[in-house]
Amino acid sequence: MRLRPATAADVGALTSLEVACFARDAWSERLVVAELAGMLGTRYVVLAERDGVPCGYASLMFTGDVADVHRVAVDPGQRRQGIGRRLTEALLGHAVSTGCERVLLEVAAANIAALELYRSLGFVDLARRDGYYGTGRDALVLQRSLP
């Protein structure tokens, strides 16, 4: 598997991953384009490919000394193979390189696999947002300090 910065040519692949990973909560193609366009100075979007086929991506927004993980998406058929970890580590490395001191993210409170991953990478609970993803679908806000 290899990681590389995503480009405008990857919009179709990123949009397909969105639908496969997030179904009704998927970002539209317009939002994916906007995320990529925001890369100029405040965004970092990284794509994971296996044998030339996109299998995941992640997005980070950074400003000042704080970075926010916007997305970590891994093809459902390729989860639990370390792709999400590699993508998240790439975001953390980029945040460090831009001078960020901490990283924040929101994750569904019911997404046990994601919570295990983030906590294994040093993220700790900061807050809970009741109904953030809709009625009965809470989010946890996690943070991690950077060196």
At 39 the pLDDT is 58
For 34, the token pair is 């906007």
Task: Specify whether the CB–CB gap between 28 and 12 falls below 8 A.
Answer: no
CA angle 90, 55, 70 (to 5 degrees): 50
**Which amino acid, one-letter code, is at 61?**
M
Per-residue pLDDT tens listing for the chain (147 residues)? 999 999 999 999 999 999 999 998 899 999 999 899 875 679 999 999 999 999 999 999 999 999 999 999 999 999 999 999 999 999 999 999 999 999 999 999 999 999 999 999 999 999 999 988 888 899 999 999 998
Task: Specify whether the CB–CB gap between 5 and 46 falls below 8 A.
Answer: yes
Beta strands 102-108; 124-129: pairing state: unpaired
The length of the chain, given as a count of residues: 147
This prediction has a pTM of: 0.93
What percent of the chain is helix, strand and coil (3-state, nearest 5)? 40, 35, 25
CATH topology for 2-104 is Aminopeptidase (3.40.630)
At 24 the pLDDT is 87
At 40 the pLDDT is 62
Report helix, strand or coil for 117: helix
